[in-house]
Amino acid sequence: MSNIFQQEENFGSGVYAKREIAIVQGNGTTVWDENGRAYLDCAAGIGVANVGHCHPQVVAAITAQASRLITCQEMFYNDQRAQFQAQLAAALPGSLNRVYLCNSGTEAVEAAVKFARLSTGRPGIVAAMRGFHGRTLGALSATHNKKYRQPFEPLVSQFSHVPFGNIDRLDAAITDQTAAVILEIVQGEGGVRLAAPGFFQRAQRLCQERGALLIIDEVQTGFGRTGKLFACEHYNLVPDLICLGKAMAGGVPMGAVGIGPRVQNLAPGLHGSTFGGNPLACAAGTAVLNIFQHTDLTSRAAKLGDQFRRQIEALNLPLVREVRGLGLMTGIELRQRAMPIVQSLMDKGIIALTAGNTVIRLLPPLTITVEELERVVVALAEILTTEQRSTAREQLPA
Ligand code: PLP
């Protein structure tokens, strides 16, 4: 066992399931392990390195900022924060023109839930089955999977769940005590699942009719992942609150909530975070927004993602039940467990994720090339064909 594994095993908390490689360097779509082996990173830090690992503009921004000012609490105004907030507000859909800055996706969800309760004076939050919103107690209460919830119960009260995409069940769940409905546009951890067209618009109409707010969690779908800067733009949807994280600062920890005009009662002292809006993350965030503004990363993601899914479908692999996704967010649902396939991909130098037991999830940097995606297609074809043959052999009578 390498020294790195040993130290993490000895001194880490134990709450993470580990894979046996130590990643020590990254550039663009590639990461390297401690022995210098290169991997094509189709996990991108779980949807973080959308602009690629160590993008030179992000590196330059944080290098310059690190020697000037790293921390500055929100008690004071700051040049980097001012610029980033203005640029992010301009990039957000429609009337989302204020931002709350924090340090992770779960904090963004936590803040959005608190803002919704504050704004409406109501306690209820309606979320979706299979939804994932983070692991702090509030966000965990909106998360659906029992595996994450049960060990920590009792969770926050007044949260309920309806089937994702089912407008009738949502209609029945929104009452005069509902502060907000929280939804992902594409359920990431829940298996890369999309809702039927029209669902989000109708959900928004219900919220507006009943005086509830609509929170869209774009922690995983944001910043170009789905082929638009924000996935709600696919549906011309402008929610009341949008939760952001992961890719927003090119790998530097950051989260945010975009806030629309229906959100009321946000007053000094009601919420906050020591590190929220720190100049280092803001400098990185501005660099990321500039990269998106001056490149075609989002339209590339849309085009390459569609091509990639068509190529996988065209293989007609018997072990593949369904290929789905939006932009460069792809789920390949198998007729067997996904983890052994993800392990075989890693043996071939490709890092991928699972989403539940049977879905392979691919979230590569949006800078991935056509050739690199073809490498993934070829590897999947080889692995799934071999796996199919050995399964068929096992099923033959002795
Ligand atoms: N919301 C969604 C949709 C996510 O996918 C995640 C993380 O995977 C979170 C919230 C939580 O983000 P974080 O892990 O940064 O707390």
Tell me the percentage of the chain whose pLDDT exceeds 90.
96
Is the pLDDT score of 392 beyond 90?
A: no
One domain for residues 161 and 94 = yes
Q: At 158, which CATH number?
A: 3.40.640.10
Q: pLDDT digit string (tens) for 174-199?
A: 999 999 999 999 999 999 999 998 99
Range of the domain at 231: 56-294
Comparing 28 with 394, which gets the higher pLDDT?
Answer: 28
One domain for residues 30 and 106 = no
Q: How far is the CA of 54 from the centre of ligand 1 (A)?
A: 21
Q: Closest Cα partner for 208 from 185, 236, 240? A: 240
Contact by Cβ (8 Å): 108, 243: yes
Q: How far is the CA of 395 from the centre of ligand 1 (A)?
A: 40
Pick from 15, 133, 186, 252 the residue to mutate for probing ligand 1's pocket: most ligand atoms within 8 Å of its CB: 133
One domain for residues 134 and 204 = yes
Whether 292 lines ligand 1, by a CB cut-off of 6 Å, is no
Q: 64: burial class by Cβ within 10 Å (0-12, 13-18, 19+)?
A: exposed
Query: What residue owns the CA closest to ligand 1's atom 13?
Result: 105
pLDDT of amino acid 387: 87
Whether 220 lines ligand 1, by a CB cut-off of 6 Å, is yes
Average model confidence (pLDDT) across the chain: 97
Shortest-distance atom of ligand 1 to CA 220: 5
Residue 290's CB is within 10 A of a number of other CB atoms, namely: 14
pTM over 0.85: yes
One domain for residues 26 and 80 = no
Q: How confident is the model at residue 397 (pLDDT cuts 50, 70, 90)?
A: low
Give the CA-trace dihedral at 283, 288, 291, 293, to 10 degrees.
-100
One domain for residues 247 and 305 = no
Q: pLDDT digit string (tens) for 41-82?
A: 999 999 999 999 999 999 999 999 999 999 999 999 999 999
One domain for residues 64 and 121 = yes
pLDDT of amino acid 393: 78
Q: At 349, which CATH number?
A: 3.90.1150.10
Residue 235's region, left for phi above 0, alpha for psi from -120 to 50, else beta, is alpha
Whether 47 lines ligand 1, by a CB cut-off of 6 Å, is no
Whether 104 lines ligand 1, by a CB cut-off of 6 Å, is yes
Whether 217 lines ligand 1, by a CB cut-off of 6 Å, is yes
Helix residue ranges per DSSP H, the chain: 3-11, 44-47, 56-66, 79-91, 105-120, 137-142, 146-149, 167-173, 199-210, 279-294, 297-314, 339-347, 370-395
One domain for residues 157 and 168 = yes
One domain for residues 10 and 113 = no
Shortest-distance atom of ligand 1 to CA 245: 15
Total of domains in the chain: 2
What is the mean pLDDT of the segment spanning 233-245?
98
One domain for residues 43 and 81 = no
One domain for residues 351 and 287 = no
Pick from 15, 106, 225 the residue to mutate for probing ligand 1's pocket: most ligand atoms within 8 Å of its CB: 106
* Domain boundary pick from 226, 259, 294: 294
Q: Using DSSP bridges, classify how beta strands 30-33 and 23-27 pair: parallel, antiparallel or unpaired.
A: antiparallel
Shortest-distance atom of ligand 1 to CA 139: 10
Q: pLDDT digit string (tens) for 350-390?
A: 999 999 999 999 999 999 999 999 999 999 999 999 988 88
Q: pLDDT digit string (tens) for 94-152?
A: 999 999 999 999 999 999 999 999 999 999 999 999 999 999 999 999 999 999 999 99
Is the pLDDT score of 4 beyond 90?
A: yes
* Domain boundary pick from 294, 312, 346: 294
One domain for residues 227 and 211 = yes
Whether 218 lines ligand 1, by a CB cut-off of 6 Å, is no
One domain for residues 277 and 207 = yes
* Domain boundary pick from 231, 265, 294: 294
Whether 130 lines ligand 1, by a CB cut-off of 6 Å, is no
What is the mean pLDDT of the segment spanning 80-94?
98
pLDDT of amino acid 398: 58
